[in-house]
Structure 1
Amino acid sequence: MDRVKRASDLVVASVALLLTAPLQGVVAVLVRWRLGSPVLFRQVRPGLHGRPFELVKFRTMRPVDAQRGWVDDADRLTSFGRRLRSTSLDELPALWNVLRGDMSLVGPRPLLVEYLELYTPEQARRHEVRPGLTGLAQVSGRNAVSWEERLRLDVEYVRTRTLLGDLRILGRTVTAVLRREGISARGDVTMPRFRGGDTGGAS
């Protein structure tokens, strides 16, 4: 399955990059105009087997600036950034990560490197596959589900993944994006930090 999945990722990511190139150009200009440079957000995330890679997305937040009061996510996330996130247009550059093999179209979302030491052995199984642009947790509530539930869904995907299942998740992703579901956790503009183990909170 893994070879077929990788071949599918290559084909779909290549076509998607070509088709979305004009749109990505427009978004890049808007990000430069509304948020300034850099246009792209780059951050090291853990991939397959926890190996680090550089995730690339369009920037949606202002830089940290204590003098201007831009410290936490609520201050740094602009209305323009919210619109980008709600439409998932900020994720389009990550198609390059799929093309390079850092990510897959479907899989557990890549989280922060600092979370690696906080997972239980069961939760750490999410790294047995490549992280994805979308995944089972994303179509089951996205950022509105608790950390415990999100990580449980990630491991469930690892255990039960099939090509047909991936197609279903991709279909459900389109619906979720159109409905703009689960963009942020309750009481948070994005999601609270993961504190480890089976703690609650949303992601």
Structure 2
Amino acid sequence: MTWRKRIFDLFFTSLLVVILGPILIGLLIWLYFKEGRPLFYVAERMKGPDQPFNLWKLRTMRIVDEDQGVSGGNKATRITKTGAWLRAKRLDEFPQLWNLLRGDLSFVGPRPPLREYVERYPNIYREVLKSRPGVTGLATIRFHKHEERLLSRCATPEETDDIYCRVCIPRKARLDLIYQRHQSTCYDFDLVFQTIGNLFRGRNARRDRRKVTKIPRHR
């Protein structure tokens, strides 16, 4: 991660801690009375081929003894009512401010993958993880909703894994590498503000996505 990108991350994170801190405290109190403990979901993710870290989120699913792979239709029954609302607004990702402060994440970059996929597809993630994983990014903006629709149709863990590996990983990797080739502070600003705008636009997000994800020309 370059020093410019790190300064960019620290600036935005400090600003959001001040703005969102009281909201996060309110959400934690609300979650405690609605769902009880634990309030957080902490899971291993990878920021490099051999660099794991703990990703923090608000808990949105009922707890089970074993949990593997990405979330698909087979896990839909585990999502709580409060969790579904948090996910729709992406409020479950507020605790990732801690990961941003630590330098585990950048604001913009590929979403951090599970270890199992990094180990199964080393050639893909060796290139993708040359960029520090991010809270948002080109792949998040352009493919996240489509990925959700694809995985929501899966009825078993095996089907979820097949669709994720066969369709989602290659498509997201292509977008992540496009971002990597064009990465700049201005492009990061654009993607961050457009992500925030999409959260407020809601229904209009799909209409604006073409403009949002316009790729800069080579200079």
TM bucket normalised to smaller: 0.7 to 0.9
SS at match of 1:128: coil
> Can you list the C-alpha shifts for 1:115-174, whole angstroms capped at 9, x where unaligned?
112226244311112110101111113141441211211121122211111111112212
Aligned counterpart for 2:197 among listed residues 163, 172, 175: 175
Q: Which has the higher helix share?
A: 2
C-alpha separation in 1, matches of 2:195 and 2:81: 23
| TM-score between both structures, scaled by the size of structure 2 | 0.74
* 1:85 partner letter: R
Note the 1:1-203 alignment, pairs <5 A. 2-64=2-64, 72-119=74-121, 121-145=123-147, 146-147=167-168, 148-180=170-202
* 1:159 partner letter: R
Q: Does structure 2 retain, via aligned residues, the 8 Å contact 1:125–1:158? A: no
C-alpha separation in 1, matches of 2:97 and 2:180: 21
C-alpha separation in 1, matches of 2:45 and 2:129: 11
Q: Does structure 2 retain, via aligned residues, the 8 Å contact 1:50–1:127? A: no
Q: Does structure 2 retain, via aligned residues, the 8 Å contact 1:137–1:150? A: yes
CA 1:45–1:65: 2 relative to 1, 3 Å: closer
Unaligned runs of 5+ in 1: 67-71, 182-203
Identity of aligned residues (%): 36
SS at match of 2:187: helix
CA RMSD across the alignment: 2.2
Q: How many corresponding residue pairs?
A: 177
C-alpha separation in 2, matches of 1:53 and 1:120: 18
C-alpha separation in 2, matches of 1:156 and 1:129: 11
Q: Does structure 2 retain, via aligned residues, the 8 Å contact 1:126–1:155? A: yes
* 1:137 partner letter: A
Unaligned runs of 5+ in 2: 67-73, 148-166, 204-219
* 1:16 partner letter: L
